[in-house]
Structure 1
Amino acid sequence: MRQVITDIFAFILVVGIGSTLVLDGWAVLLDKVAGLTPTNWGFVGRWLVGLSRGQAVLDGANTAEPSRAEKGLGWAFHYLVGLGYAALVVMLYGTMIISAPHAGAFIVVGMMISTLAGMTILMPGMGAGFLGAKLPNQGQKIAMMIVGHGVFAAAQFACALALAQLLAP
């Protein structure tokens, strides 16, 4: 039993952090190559602070550069969500996914669920409206989110495969 728990924690850490790092690398690449600005995790931190005060939507009135605390909170949240998605894979597909990863699990969690959460929770919370309806470039933002979360799902699968190889007897 102890080994199963150790394997679950290893899976969550490797897949959660590894895939989130790849997603961040993808965002940096898009910024450098195409000039597409990545998510400002400081504003996400500001939104989280607002949530703690009962404000569900970031109102956009405070456009000041996020504080160090807001940036730290936003980045921590970003990585905790990555860990959460890795844990969700195990919860939905069982511990066998650790030794025998299959792409379908990561498409469902890493791409479909995470994209829907972004469009139905994060976008509205950040003031962009449900599915980004208030954005002037809604279609582009949704397309970029789908592609980014596809990269995230592929990275989850790659990290899971690598870990399965390391854990194999």
Structure 2
Amino acid sequence: MQSVEVVMRVMAVGAVATAVTDLWAAMLRRLGRPVLDYALLGRWLGHLRRGRWRHAPIQAAAPVRCERLLGWLAHYAIGIGMAAALLAVLGSGWLRAPTLAPALAFGVVSVALPFLVMQPAFGAGIAAARVPRPWPARLQSVATHALFGLGLYLGARVLSIFIV
């Protein structure tokens, strides 16, 4: 597989996996469950540029210009980056013959990023320890990242069927 083709496939797989998590979030939102507003990710990135890493909470930080757009772009860039990380571990051969188990495992393991980086940076503590109901928040994070892993597999599987 040519490197340009691998990059294009990784971008597609990462975008599909991220879209799967967005569909999940939309369903949760309709059910009245709290989900991350990606404008807050953009706000955090805007403040990070100014040297501020941690907030208590991010919702209280001053809004930054174009934070919603910045947050959504970052959300998809992170998803694509995670797909690239999976390929770095499994190799590009996985794109030709994707299997569910490693993608699902990778998705679940990727929950370490919000638990150890984003939630503390947003003022929620490690693994949402400072939110009013940490265990439901933790379980929702694990479920979301497991669905991201499923999305990685589905994206790669569809590509492997339709693009030889």
Instruction: Give yes or no for TM over 0.5.
Output: yes
Give the alignment partner of residue 11 of structure 1, picking from 9, 12, 36. Answer: 9
Matches within 5 A, 1:140-159: 140-159=136-155
CA contact (8 A) 2:119 2:126 kept: yes
Corresponding position of 2:32: 35
CA contact (8 A) 1:41 1:78 kept: yes
Number of residue pairs aligned between Structure 1 and Structure 2: 164
CA contact (8 A) 2:42 2:70 kept: yes
CA displacement at 1:65 relative to structure 2: 8.3
Corresponding position of 1:90: 87
Matches within 5 A, 1:54-65: 54-60=51-57, 63=60
Local SS of the residue matching 2:16: helix
CA contact (8 A) 2:58 2:123 kept: no
CA displacement at 1:84 relative to structure 2: 0.3
1:155 partner letter: G
CA contact (8 A) 1:18 1:159 kept: yes
Q: Percent identity?
A: 27
CA contact (8 A) 1:15 1:156 kept: yes
Matches within 5 A, 1:122-137: 122-137=118-133
1:20-71: per-residue Cα shift (whole Å, max 9, x none)? 1111111011111x20122111111111122122211123376378455111
1:147-167: per-residue Cα shift (whole Å, max 9, x none)? 111111111101111111122
The TM-score, its normalising length taken from structure 2, stands at 0.91
Root mean square deviation of aligned Cα: 1.8
The TM-score, its normalising length taken from structure 1, stands at 0.89
Gaps of 5+ in 1: none
